[in-house]
Amino acid sequence: MKIDPNHLHMLAAIIDSGGLSEGAIALNKSQPSLSRTVAMLEARLGSRLFEKGKRPLRPTELCQSLADQGRIILHASEAARQVAELYSGGKAGTARISGTPIFMDGVISNMIATFQGAFPEIAIHQTYGYLGDLTEQLNVGNVDLAICPVCPDTVPEGLSFKPILPGRNVIACAPSHPLARKSAIKLEDIAPYPWIAPPAGSPLYEDLRSALARIGIKDFKVSFTGGSLASIISILAGSESLTVLPYSVVFMQSNTKNVTALPVRLEHPSRELGVLWRDDRPIRPAVLRFRKYLESEFSGLAKRIEEKGRNIVWRN
């Protein structure tokens, strides 16, 4: 004999509020409705649920046991309501994001931290990839948002793109680096130092190669490669190596005084750091909220970067 969860919930409400009438009020129903349901249950169970002819309604032992389950059900139902509400409001859920490693580590991770401070019920699943993978992952549906530098003219078919920062790259080194103190750097100055190469296949790597080629350096010395941002920064700090990083990443590190940018303008294809997503499929509220958050954070960040950049003379 199956018992309707709603009925169990009703029993709990009746007991907890101390009577049919009170229970009816608590449940927003009429008293006869409860009365009838109780009678029906008693008939089906073959046992009384409330002692007969007792006016302060006294629940039977069986009724107590059933009401216990009813309370569990009530609780679960309430939890579901809450989940649904949070979810719809974009305050709970999951956002699956993916992006270029250096930028995710160097900039986005900070924002995720503050975001999760505000919305602890939103889980972020992060992966790494470059434009090709990202497009694929978005199309397949494994990822909700991709964050990477994109040439605005060549946004992949079927994706929306929202730029968040200019994708300018710079030459980075430790603040203690000999070049860091020079006010005017000539390109020849750069030549002697070893390089930390960004992951092969990344735009950064291409930029490093082409920039150096432009200076005339074809065979540059790569002292380290394959590491993620954390390794790169450690190695920069402990050596005289140079590397190429998005300026925003260097900027975010500025308070830790681990990395600095050389005031040299690197020529590279114009790109915008931005967010990619598929607009043709429904965007979950939590994802939308995260995207909006990124956009607003970055508009602030872009302003701060802009202000600081004005004081620097970038040479070619």
Partner DNA sequence: CTATCTTCATAACATGAAGGTATATTGATT
Partner DNA sequence: AATCAATATACCTTCATGTTATGAAGATAG
Please report, as ranges, the residues that interact with its own copies according to CB under 8 A. 1-6, 8-9, 45-48, 51-52, 60-62, 65-66, 69-70, 72-73, 76-77, 79-81, 83-85, 87-88, 92-94, 141, 281-282, 284-285
Closest distance of CB 34 from DNA, Å: 7
CB 144, min distance to DNA, A:
19
Q: Does 81 bind DNA (CB under 7 A)?
A: no
Our finding on whether 20 is near DNA (CB under 7 A) is yes
Minimal distance, residue 141 CB to its own copies, in Å = 8
Compute φ and ψ for 239, nearest 5 degrees: -150, 180
**Contact between 54 and DNA per CB under 7 A:** yes
Considering the complex, what minimum distance in angstroms separates the CB of residue 270 from its own copies? 37
Is position 139 an interface residue for DNA (rule: CB under 7 A)? no
Binder of DNA out of 11, 13, 15, 33 (CB under 7 A) = 33
Which DSSP string corresponds to the chain?
----HHHHHHHHHHHHHTSHHHHHHHHTS-HHHHHHHHHHHHHHHTS-SB-TT-SS--B-HHHHHHHHHHHHHHHHHHHHHHHHHHHHTTSSEEEEEEE-HHHIIIIIHHHHHHHHHH-TTEEEEEEE--HHHHHHHHHHTS-SEEEEEE-GGGPPTT-EEEEEEE--EEEEE-TTSHHHH-SS--HHHHTTS-EEEPPTTSHHHHHHHHHHHHHT--S--EEEES--HHHHHHHHHTSS-EEEEEHHHHHHTGGGTS-EE-SBPPP----EEEEEE-TTSPPPHHHHHHHHHHHHHHHHHHHHHHHHHHTS--B-
237 binds, among its own copies, DNA, none (CB under 5 to 8 A by kind): none
* Cβ distance to DNA smaller for residue 59 or 163: 59
Residue 30 touches DNA, criterion: CB under 7 A: yes
List the interface residues with DNA, window 144-183 (CB under 7 A): none
Minimum distance, C-beta of residue 135 to DNA, in the bound complex (Å)? 20
User: Between 96 and 168, whose beta carbon lies closer to its own copies?
Assistant: 96
Q: Could you tell me if 138 and 187 are in contact, meaning their C-beta atoms sit under 8 angstroms apart?
A: no
Q: Which is nearer to its own copies, 57 or 172 (CB)?
A: 57
Shortest CB 19 distance to DNA, Å: 3
Residues in touch with DNA (CB under 7 A): 4, 6-7, 19-22, 28-33, 35-40, 50, 53-57
